[in-house]
Amino acid sequence: MAPRLIRRIAHLDMDAFYASVELLRYPQLKGLPVVIGGGRRSADDALLQAHADVPLSKIPVADFPRLAGYTGRGVITTATYAARQSGVGSAMGLMKAAKLCPEAILLPVDFVEIRRYSRAFKDIILEIAPLMEDRGVDEVYIDFTEVPGGQRDGGRVLARLIQKTIFQQTNLTCSVGVAPNKLLAKMASEFNKPNGIAIVFEDDLQDKIWPLACRKINGIGPKADEKLQGLGIKTIGQLAQQELGWLIDHFGQKTGAWLHAASHGQDDRPVELESEPVSISRETTFERDLHAVRDKAELGAIFTRLCEQVAADLANKGYVGKTIGIKLRFDDFKSVTRDQTVEAYVGDAKTIRQVAGLCLKRVPLTQRLRLLGVRVASLMRLQDAADTTSKQPLALLQKGPIASESIASEPQLFD
């Protein structure tokens, strides 16, 4: 009888993915503090125009725009490890980062290139280990359990093969954590970044997991961590020492039970091969606060662009939806959302904009805005919607770029 296989789950995370993709274009910036974030600015266009006659790799480092003096609402998507040493990191405002690391080079996000490399590294993984769960642009879970090499040295042999193949074909590095489940694997993938591999077994819980801060558990956010610290619990080990009943008393039945299980390294979630999106959305934070009346034309143009982007995303992924919503964040940082469900599945930019506009009418627009977002939910695959809704008008199932052409002829109303 063949020995029972030990469950081995890997979490693979690309190293500083957005920055690393840019460094492929600009290898002269390797080792330097580089921040990726915000939209394309005039300085970015000026850089390319000034060096239109030379390869991108030959643009002098001194000519790249710096973070110093940045003003606006942009947020860091990622930063190179050299920049992180100054305290900057993902989701930090660019203005704050400019104070911490003014010498950092600032580059905009190129989503087209990011998506291209995202597809590339995932295709490589699937050729080696076909049981993969897509968790976003730059990370995946992989079930190593029955894949050749997945049991050798706890999964290190297979992790090294995947890591090496991705680098050979893309020149990008990644870090891999292999453990008995997804919870521990995600923590492990952070242990030896960048370009590292970490192996965790059930017996390693006390030595490798319990000394970590509670925030290292994926799912414990700032508020939960603050409450835990208020109760004198700072590490996962301290959390594991608490009785189940005590945790339920303080956090409720569901969260208390989850905290107890997570602190003991328990997680039976499977690797989901087919992960259907719950919704598709786009949002943007403005460089300055905008007023619904005085900045009506600018807001209208942004609103239209977001609807077109959501429609294009739906078309590219092959979905339509029935619930359309908006998200607003005001100058006092308060956020509101509104949504509306329509009778037929839609996927075109014109209809998305019309319904989202109705959602806007349900929000008092007296305050200045700092963020606007558009969302489509209650999704169904386009082919399934077409098969099951034969009476639905064809226009509602059009792909975004086709239907959105008619928006240009409408008044740019932000109401």
Nearest CA to 281 out of 162, 182, 377 is that of: 377
List C-alpha distances in Å: 159 to 118, 139, 326, 356: 18, 14, 41, 45
Within 252-348, residue ranges assigned H as helices are 253-263, 296-317
* Residues whose CB falls within 8 Å of the CB of residue 13, separated by 6 or more in sequence, listed in order: 138, 139, 174, 175, 176, 189, 190, 193
Among all chains, which residue has been given the structure tokens 């009943």? 245
CA distance 110 to 18: 8
Among all chains, which residue has been given the structure tokens 């801060």? 213
Active-site annotation holds for 343 = no
Structure tokens at 194: 């960048």
Nearest CA to 403 out of 337, 299, 336, 320 is that of: 320
* Residues whose CB falls within 8 Å of the CB of residue 223, separated by 6 or more in sequence, listed in order: none
Catalytic residue among 113, 139, 243, 343: 139
Answer for the pair 121, 150: CB distance below 8 angstroms, yes or no. no
CA distance 299 to 305: 10
CA distance 255 to 212: 20
Count of CB atoms within 10 A of residue 407's CB? 19
Answer for the pair 339, 323: CB distance below 8 angstroms, yes or no. yes
Structure tokens at 72: 């606006």
Structure tokens at 198: 């970490």
Hey, what amino acid is at 145?
Answer: T
Answer for the pair 99, 114: CB distance below 8 angstroms, yes or no. no
CA distance 256 to 245: 8
Angle at 41 between CA 38 and CA 46, to 5 degrees: 145
Coil vs helix vs strand at 291? coil
Beta bridge partners of 11: 141, 177
- List the catalytic residues: 139
